[in-house]
């Protein structure tokens, strides 16, 4: 399943408090480095028969984000030519947007999940969305 990248997931979680059934998990490797994996809630990551690591943040997929964002939120994916100055002509990516009485928000991301996550972050920052209690 495709999910938002780790940094965006952490940022959105801080603003929203939203939980999902998937988590970013930090796993120490034998060579001293750390890797990150997405696991279902309740799953445990094992290395050499021993449980390792810990949960960092929820991981958000498109369906979850679309259910949480306001009605009329849209996400589009483009390939190649487009008119957006943020990207070169041959780049691929996604953008999410939301129209409402006070304006329109367009946010661009490498994936649909990231674009929706960026839109959610922007809507929290603008006070359109508020943290769940």
What is the per-residue DSSP string for 27-43? EE-TTS-EEEEEEETT-
Quote the domain boundaries for residue 38.
6-58
Q: Residues 49, 82: one domain?
A: no
132: its two tokens: 């769940």
Burial 85-102 (b: 16+ CB within 10 A, else e): eeeeeeeebbbbbbeeee
pTM > 0.85: yes or no? no
Say whether pLDDT at 108 is over 60.
yes
Q: Residues 72, 94: one domain?
A: yes
Q: Residues 53, 80: one domain?
A: no
Count of domains for the chain: 2
Tens of pLDDT, residue by residue over 120-132, are 999 999 898 998 7
Of 15, 36, 58, which marks where a domain is finished? 58
**Mean pLDDT, range 108-125, rounded to an integer:** 90
Mean of the per-residue pLDDT values for the chain? 81
Cα-Cα-Cα-Cα torsion 111, 116, 117, 118, nearest 10 degrees, comes to 90
Within-domain flag for 132: no
């Amino acid at each position: 399943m495709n999910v938002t990248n780790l940094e965006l997931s952490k940022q959105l979680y801080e603003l929203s408090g939203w939980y999902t059934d998937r988590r970013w998990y930090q796993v120490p490797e034998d060579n001293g480095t750390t890797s990150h994996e997405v696991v279902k809630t309740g799953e445990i990551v094992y290395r050499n028969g021993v449980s390792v690591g810990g949960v960092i943040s929820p991981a958000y997929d498109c369906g979850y984000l679309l259910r949480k964002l306001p009605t009329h939120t849209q996400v589009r994916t483009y390939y190649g030519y487009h008119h957006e100055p943020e990207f070169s002509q041959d780049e691929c990516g996604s953008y999410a947007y939301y129209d409402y009485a006070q304006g329109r928000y367009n946010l661009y991301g490498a994936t649909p999940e990231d674009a929706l996550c960026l839109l959610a972050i922007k809507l929290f920052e603008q006070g359109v969305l508020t943290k769940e209690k």
